[in-house]
Chain A
Amino acid sequence: MNEPLHPQLLSIDRLAISYADGDERRRVVDEVSFDIASGEVVALVGESGSGKSTTAQAIIGLLPEGGRIDSGAIRLNGEAISHWSGKRLAALRGSVISLIPQDPGSSLNPVRTIGAQIGEIFRIHGERDRTAIAARTLDLLDRVGLSEPALRVRQYPHELSGGMKQRVLIAIAIALKPQLIIADEPTSALDVTVQRRVLDLIDEVRRDAGTALLLVTHDLGVAADRADRIVVLQGGRVQEVGVAAELLAHPRSAYARQLLADAPSLNARPTNRQPPVAGADSIVVAGLIQDFAVDRRTAIRAVDDISFTVRRGSTHALVGESGSGKTTTARSIVGFQRPTAGRILIEGTEISSLAGAALRQFRSRIQLVYQNPFSSLDPRQRVIDIVTEPLRNLSSLGPTERRAKAAALLERVGLPEALHMRRPRALSGGQRQRVAIARALVLDPEILVLDEAVSALDVTVQGHVLRLLDELQRERGLTYLFVSHDLAVVRQISDTVSVLQNGRVVESGTVADVFERPQSAYARQLIDAIPGRRSSAHVGQP
């Protein structure tokens, strides 16, 4: 329908963008060039700080305050739009270029109805007929697969789930049949199974209308599944551009190769794990039930009769989406809350029988590593003090011995001495997570519980930390309980797995069994939702 007069719909030419940083300007996008043809899907792939979101924001003319295009051009249908006035650009937004935002949770105005927020886009672009707007709104809601459109228009965002909100935002993005949709990490805030359905929907509505899509993502697997061509960004520069299948099969740049190697979704089993040693049971959970009181009369059952065992020296994964009870289970196991019912045996000790000083002493045997390395380290402490503190609490070592032990361990997890006197604020995310791992290991525990411990990290950093964990496990004979929503990572590093849904175990077994021959419908659904499967045929296995 949009017969291209110009070969390219969108053409980015040597684009450079900087942000104000005090008196100076910091370049975040440098000499970036790529094109998007009509109806084409281009994925912009990169880690945080790669400039991928900034590039997308510049195209739609919505750079945050302080951002500026220094040089280069953005051409839409051959016409340079990068220096258009705000008013001219506004006429373009929504009608020719539209946006699907990252976080559906905060992307809808909480005090206005769904109907008002969809109908608004027609009003902004000149439609005055209220009944026409209402009819088109209902039509759109139906189009994006929301049940009962007539009810939805009167609802408020908080009454909808995350996936439903993202459908509403897709409806807004396609309302005026634009030529280009920019989707900025459209699914990173959603659960895995929902992610896949949303990506499918975007694909479908886009294909029907022949709309081009710029898909901004950190996940090479998602790009592999959905894009015609892939642009790999790093540090604000284009590392590689190519047809998706080709780029994935034969990456030419070193960075693309590394990204590919570290992307868990594209690698079935990169680490050669030994089959679980036939050892004694390290963790035994039997019939665990965990209730939380909402008020005096009602309670929510977060964990409903969960049982599993973990062999000493092996890695067991607890997998599930949000609300599955996986984190609650992990916290009960490390003794942060008392089970409502059921037994938890850690190396033969029943932890619910412990209290006070005995519980305190017991903590040296099992340690937890948190998801968010930004909140799990005291911002006022120095790195070395963070790692020495557990020894102060629970060991008989003197001050110099404590420091020596902590320093040695920090070196071991890859933090050179120069960093030991820093505070967490002056460290990167990966470095902080290494500090957290060192703190957990300094008491020489037998078990480490890793609660989404690598989920907040960039892919390549994640790769480094996973390799470190693997080495540490072999050196120290550690038992890992790995809590994650990310099945790709789980497949990579665990020996056995329990799949959780609504507080119950729906499937468990060895990783090979569960991933190759899932028995339950839910496990199958989760595994199918792992991105990167469609094109994994193209990826050379090591």
Chain B
Amino acid sequence: MQRYVFSRIGQALLVLWLAFTVSFVLLQALPGDAVLIKFLSPELGLSPAQIAEIQAAYGSDTPVILQYFAAIANFVTGNFGYSVHAGVPVSQLLAANLPQTLRLATLGLTLALAIAVALAFLSTLTRFAFLRNALQALPALFISVPTFWLGIMLIQVFSFRLRLIPVINPSELQGLILPTITLAIPISAPLAQILMRNIDAALTQSYVEVARAKGASPAFVLWHHVARNAVLPTLTIAGILLGELLAGAVVTETVFGLNGIGGLTEQAVRSQDTAVLQAIVVLSAVVFVIANLVVDLLYPLFDPRLRTRQEVLA
């Protein structure tokens, strides 16, 4: 068991290090000198001496490989560099914007889970074929809707047509309703699809027939035999889901003009602020890796088959 945990943690660290390297190559090494590009602009009218001074201050006059090692050391200690655009440490920007995004992401994920579970289980339990078909078709529709357009449509309908949610100075709660829905719907679609597929697969298993032969009702079978077998594999996409949640936040926060990591990302790309973007990329990789690690380590607690296999290996 211990060996399993350590090897999993080792793999997670490896993926993280590689992700950092990829982002460094993409955002720091290949674009060349972001600082130089910005300050070489003739509008600023800086002298070469001044530019060299600035470069030295940002540490970008050293060879790429040394920058790379310095960057690793800095990231490990929580120093993500300076935002060229805002002129403040990236860590400070992240700290200021993270709580807002976390709140939105938590609400969005909760709603997405609720929608997915409701769709999957209702479509299985309903007696009416037309309702089942309609519920099963919804995820395919959800997945085809651009997130930003969904947000705009919600504003158009609820704020401008129905006037249910004020556009100007909404309360904090009111301000979160539409963004949460916007974020949740595209995330709920793949979840619902996986759940539906797993439920269908579990229903064809012969242990379900055996349970029915014991005299169990459809609801009993769904709860005692299908639910766990269908929900467990869904956990494995937790990491991807959290990543998508962050990406969804970029679009949602842009559409609704919210401050957060998403808005920060959008700004960073617009102003070529590579340090900020790299920090966000690495942050999301950390979230992904931790989520997968947690799922991998917890999975055996829910699935007895894996539990014994590990005991045998350990």
Please report A residues at the B interface, Cβ cutoff 8 Å. 60, 62, 86-87, 90-95, 98-99, 101-103, 106-112, 120-121, 124-125, 156, 158-159, 169, 172
Contact = CB atoms under 8 A, between A and B. Distances in A.
B206 interface: yes
Interface string B206-221: 1101111111111010
Given A111-B228, A111-B303, A158-B304, A120 B213 contact: no
Contacts of B217: 86-87, 90
Interface in B115-152: none
Contacts of A109: 207, 211, 225, 229
Most chain A C-beta atoms within 10 Å of own C-beta, residue among B205, B212, B215, B220: B215
Contacts of B209: 62, 99, 101, 107
B305 interface: yes
A62 B212 contact: yes
B205 A106 contact: yes
Contacts of B303: 110-111
Given A110-B229, A159-B308, A94 B206 contact: no
A120 B207 contact: no
Interface size class of B (residues with CB under 8 A): 20 to 34
A355 B129 CA distance: 60
A94 B213 contact: yes
Ranked nearest first, the 3 interchain pairs of A and B with the lowest CB-CB distance are A99-B213, A94-B215, A93-B215
A102 B232 CA distance: 26
Given A87-B217, A111-B302, A156-B304, A106 B207 contact: yes
Interface in B219-242: 220, 224-225, 228-229, 232
B207 A121 contact: no
Contacts of A102: 206
A408 to B, nearest CB: 44
A60 B205 CA distance: 17
Given A106-B205, A107-B207, A93 B212 contact: yes
Q: Which of B212, B217, B232 has the most CB of A within 10 A?
A: B212
Contact of A60 (B206, B213, B304): B213
Given A62-B212, A92-B215, 9 more contacts: A86-B218, A90-B212, A99-B210, A101-B209, A101-B210, A109-B207, A121-B214, A121-B215, A156-B304
Contacts of A156: 304-305, 308
A382 to B, nearest CB: 32
Contacts of B211: 109, 120
Nearest to A91: B215
Contacts of A158: 304-305, 308
A461 to B, nearest CB: 25
Contacts of B302: 111
Nearest to B302: A111
Contacts of B229: 109-111
Contacts of B304: 110-111, 156, 158
A106 B206 contact: yes
Contact of A94 (B214, B218, B225, B228): B214
Contacts of A169: 210
Contacts of B232: 111
B311 to A, nearest CB: 11
Interface string B158-181: 000000000000000000000000
A85 to B, nearest CB: 12
B213 A125 contact: no
A120 B207 CA distance: 13
A91 B162 CA distance: 52
Nearest to B225: A109
A125 B210 contact: no
A368 to B, nearest CB: 32
A90 B218 CA distance: 10
B210 A90 contact: no
A124 B220 contact: yes
Contacts of A92: 215
Nearest to B212: A62
Contact of A124 (B215, B228, B305): B215
A112 B228 CA distance: 10
A159 B214 CA distance: 23
A375 to B, nearest CB: 20
A107 B212 CA distance: 11
A296 B213 CA distance: 46
Contacts of A98: 213-214
Contacts of A86: 217-218
Interface in B281-304: 302-304
A541 B206 CA distance: 40
A95 B308 contact: no
B305 A120 contact: no
A108 B207 contact: yes
Contacts of A124: 214-216, 220
A99 B212 CA distance: 10
B13 to A, nearest CB: 22
Nearest to A182: B213
Contacts of A108: 207, 210
Contacts of B220: 124
Contacts of A93: 212-215
A98 B216 CA distance: 12
Nearest to B304: A156
Contacts of A94: 213-215
B234 to A, nearest CB: 14
A99 B207 CA distance: 11
A120 B210 contact: no
Contacts of A106: 205-207
Contacts of B218: 86
Q: Most chain-A Cβ atoms within 10 A of its Cβ — which of B209, B214, B218? A: B214
B305 A110 contact: yes
A31 to B, nearest CB: 26
Given A111-B228, A120-B224, A158-B304, A101 B215 contact: no
Nearest to A173: B213
Contacts of A91: 215
Contacts of A159: 308
A379 B225 CA distance: 35
A120 B217 CA distance: 12
A180 B224 CA distance: 26
A125 B213 CA distance: 12
A442 to B, nearest CB: 39
Nearest to A104: B206
A176 to B, nearest CB: 9
Nearest to A121: B214
A280 to B, nearest CB: 48
Contact of B215 (A95, A110, A112): A95
A186 to B, nearest CB: 12
B197 to A, nearest CB: 16
Contacts of A112: 224-225
Max count, chain A CB within 10 A of own CB: residue among B209, B210, B218, B229 = B210
Given A156-B304, A156-B305, A158-B308, A107 B206 contact: yes
A111 B207 CA distance: 11
A15 to B, nearest CB: 19
B276 to A, nearest CB: 45
Contacts of A95: 215
